[in-house]
Structure 1
Amino acid sequence: MKRKSTSVRIETKKENVENILKNSAAFITNWPYVVRVSTREGVSAEIMLPRFVFKFRDTYRFQYHPDFNSHIYDGEGKRGHMILVVTLKEWSRNVETHLELSYKGKGELLLEKTIQSLVDGIGRGLKELAESTAPAHPKVNEQKKTMLSVDFSDPMNVAGFLAKSKMLHSGIYMVNKNGLFNVVSEIRGKSNLISCTYQG
């Protein structure tokens, strides 16, 4: 049995990755070399593994088994057997994902590079899916950069700053005549991230 593995770091929460892995049909559809996926009686996928001038094509019926922090996809075909194990480890800001793919069957001796290419592609696809579906949260450094780049001598720049200040305040500001300095002072006091000078 050929075994190949890869690891990817995904910039999202573990929950977002798990939601993708639990939907085995959609997840398998995004694998490389997958020709067709059917959910008529469970999940089955027709996969064509190319190597040189040969194409090892088979239909695998997959069973999904979730574990404590692993997700197992056991695919039984007519001429081969394929098992993918995805293990997750959550850190403070990302998820370290380890994938191991095992293959046994026709063309096993020829498919070493193809199996590695398949598991690498599965890892990249999982990363793209998880990061594209994750809710967008502005990073602290981006917030600081936004506030520190405010030019209070430019009215349009100030207007843009007030629009972006929603990251610190909820609601919409109504600025009274001659009240801009008060609003800026209030925001400055709460953020402690900017400095400005006012010329009256």
Structure 2
Amino acid sequence: MFCAIDIDGTIAMGGIPGDLRANMNYFKELGIPLPDDITDFPTLLHHPYVIPLHSALPGAIWGVAHVATMGSVGYFTVRKHADSQQQSLIYEATQQWLRQKAFPNPMQVVLCNSVLHKLIKLYEQEKDNQEPFVLIDDKWSQVVQHFDAVFSEDHRQMGQAIKERLTLLAYGVSVVPAVTNGLRLVPLPSWDHIVDIHFCS
């Protein structure tokens, strides 16, 4: 079984409390050479010079290592940039961060355009086998809300296959909604609770 793990908000945390300007000033005071045209948090927090400063969430390293004992793991993250050279730097910085923090299988990184795009990439990777697969993500509500709209008409067959094989672990919540659009949804309040879940057995 393959387990895809989100990064931002699921195993990693970047920045400080406050608005964009406060965070820009914070990183510049640390000597990080940031361009002045950054206009949103994702662009700031995914900058190749900022990624190494991210912290691992409590229990995440141990939790992912636990998951890795039950199946293969990889990291599916929405870290994108229009410039291909900058995108390559983001990719390399992400791998390096995972390696430095001692996360399992740190080179297995897939950059995605959106949360739903993670499911497409995950399906394409795993479509040639019949094993179930898992996504652990703090943006799980976006998957539930927009799943049917994305996987309709031309993508209906893919959507049905994903529903049959996917277990979506909702990171950060203790209770999941009753309506899940047919998705198998399991709450994961924190990484301390990963030992209570037997989805990869």
Larger Rg: 1
| TM exceeding 0.5 | no
Under a length normalisation based on structure 1, what TM-score does the superposition of the two structures give? 0.25
> Which structure has the highest helix share of the two?
2
Under a length normalisation based on structure 2, what TM-score does the superposition of the two structures give? 0.25
